[in-house]
Chains A and B, each alone.
Chain A
Amino acid sequence: MSEQVFEATIAKDQRIEPRDWMPEGYRKTMIRQIAQHAHSEIIGMQPEGAWITRAPSLRRKAILLAKVQDEAGHGLYLYSAAETLGADRGDLTRRLIEGRQKYSSIFNYPTLTFADVGVIGWLVDGAAICNQVPLCRSSFGPYARAMIRICKEESFHQRQGYELLMTMMRGTPAQREMVQDAVNRWWWPSLMMFGPPDAESPNTAQSMAWKIKRHTNDELRQRFVDMSVPQAGALGVTLPDGDLRWNAEREHYDFGEIDWSELKRVISGDGPMNRERIAHRRRADEQGAWVREAAAAHAAKRQGVPA
């Protein structure tokens, strides 16, 4: 009976809500996907956060601060969505810092210059937008609603990054070189953000059937490439791929082979910054513990309950 209701709800393109009956596999997949997404937003504060104190002007500092604060907010919307399925926020954080749950591979690369801040906004947030817009129609209600809030905010992220890069491109030859260097380093990892190729993505079929996912990894990756090429042209940078060219027959850009061994390496913990990202998150959790405990004790005292 309840399984029929679930299937019928999905078939009618309606949303599943937290207290509805759902298959165990759906619940598990949903918790894992939302948690990984939340972790990505939280860890994703680090690469750009590192530049807040070194932003070249008060304007850029205020923008970057607002953007990084948004990413914290995205993480919190998503942890809140995961909790509607019975997950516990503290437990999810422990899974992250103990390496038992993953986050997006992209945040394991270093931000070497301020141009990286612009390229992250343009390409990394751009890829995130490609991924996230279809998720606004994901079948799980709280996740879809969180994605709608997030997508509204992402557009600012991408535009501030692109504007930053346009400003640098109008600057000195050294600044233009800095932008090109950042593009060279971030282009391929951005393509990897869409995950393994469809042929090696065993869970895609089930996620599509449950309408958790609306497009395959390769479809979204192609969409991102098609959007980015003209943007690179307008900016005046070259995307580091000799095989990139318009295919009139397919009406898409062809692009070169992605180094999947690199993605595997970074996902399994061996990227340039994996250890540092997790160590930083663990430190923040440990150093914040006394604040959380003191606030809880204060609240208990004011209520007249012994802590």
Chain B
Amino acid sequence: MIPAAFEYHRPGDLPAALALLQEHGDDARVIAGGHSLIPMMKLRMAEVPHLIDLQAIDALRGITIDGHRITLGAMVTQAEIIAHAGLTTHAPILREAALQIADPQVRAMGTVGGNVANGDPGNDMPGLMQCLNATFHVTGPAGSRDIPAREFYESAYLTAREDDEILTAVSFDAPTGGQAYEKQKRKIGDYATAAAAVILTRLGDRCTAASIAMTNLSDTPIWAEAAGEALVGTACGEDAVIAAITAMQAAIDPSEDNRGPAEFKRHAAGIILARAIARAWSRA
């Protein structure tokens, strides 16, 4: 499996990468870990005459925890997330989700920037970032701008990032409360049949805030606002969980594929969400 020929570029800084994107327009794509793009190029479903490798751009690396704000450079790998002690303390849901992505070799290469920017509905980080209410930082010829994760995804592979912009980092406030990432998949390395990211804040025996996002159940991740609202003010008992599941199921729009028919996925989504809520609540 050999992709079509292309020219390879490895710019040393962001301005050089942006200049290459400008110069080659639609003919250029940036590559981070490559584990989404290279398979598509090998299948010749993506043709990329100019491949711009971001690996030499130091400004895209690094994990910083500054007070409550956590920033991940676009080139941070899933393996780096898993190994980072600070993240494990301040945002354990990130590690829990990253451990469920693909397999060790893929996690060694796969990056957070690639995972969120590609717009693949099967990727786990987009839903997680919506749950965290993260901000995506992009830079283009006109300068830098911030895009909320909850407004980034338009449809499969279509996002608010312009073609001449590069996603440089994601940032979010360290979540407080109980967190859980639950994923149902057929086997290691598969995308989710259904996955749920849940963060719950608890005061006494009441839930005071809830954020719920679902993965691979629509052509974009789904931040299910109403599902979270169904839990607020409750003790996350059975009735509240059923109400949250019902609200979530009204927000998703799964389609049939080799992971099963749409009805099955709705059912699986409900089970996964119930598990995620129970686990997040037990940690809140």
State yes or no: do A and B come from one complex.
no
